């Protein structure tokens, strides 16, 4: 079975930082990175991000 890739742009915990070296962050996991946070989680734990929470749609 193929796991579906997590898109951090659709996650409520994803944010863009002001740090040029680490421009992407995850509030749930508490870290910043150069890559997408979901990719960092997958590389380090070999599992998909378990903290993903879909953003609420604006009306």
Q: pTM score, two decimals?
A: 0.83
50's CB contacts (< 8 A; 6+ apart) are: none
Residues in the chain with pLDDT values less than 50? 1
Q: What confidence score (pLDDT) does residue 2 get? A: 58
Measured on CA atoms in the order 18, 30, 52, 5, is the torsion positive or negative?
positive
Q: What confidence score (pLDDT) does residue 3 get? A: 66
Q: What confidence score (pLDDT) does residue 57 get? A: 80
Q: What confidence score (pLDDT) does residue 7 get? A: 92
Q: What confidence score (pLDDT) does residue 51 get? A: 93
| Alpha helices (H) along the chain | 37-45
Q: Which two tokens stand for residue 54?
A: 């879909």
């Amino acid at each position: 079975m193929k796991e579906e890739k997590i898109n951090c742009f659709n996650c409520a915990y994803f944010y863009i930082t002001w740090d040029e070296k680490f421009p992407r962050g995850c509030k749930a996991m508490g870290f910043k990175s150069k890559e997408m946070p979901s990719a960092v989680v997958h590389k380090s734990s070999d599992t998909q991000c378990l903290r993903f929470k879909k953003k609420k749609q604006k009306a």
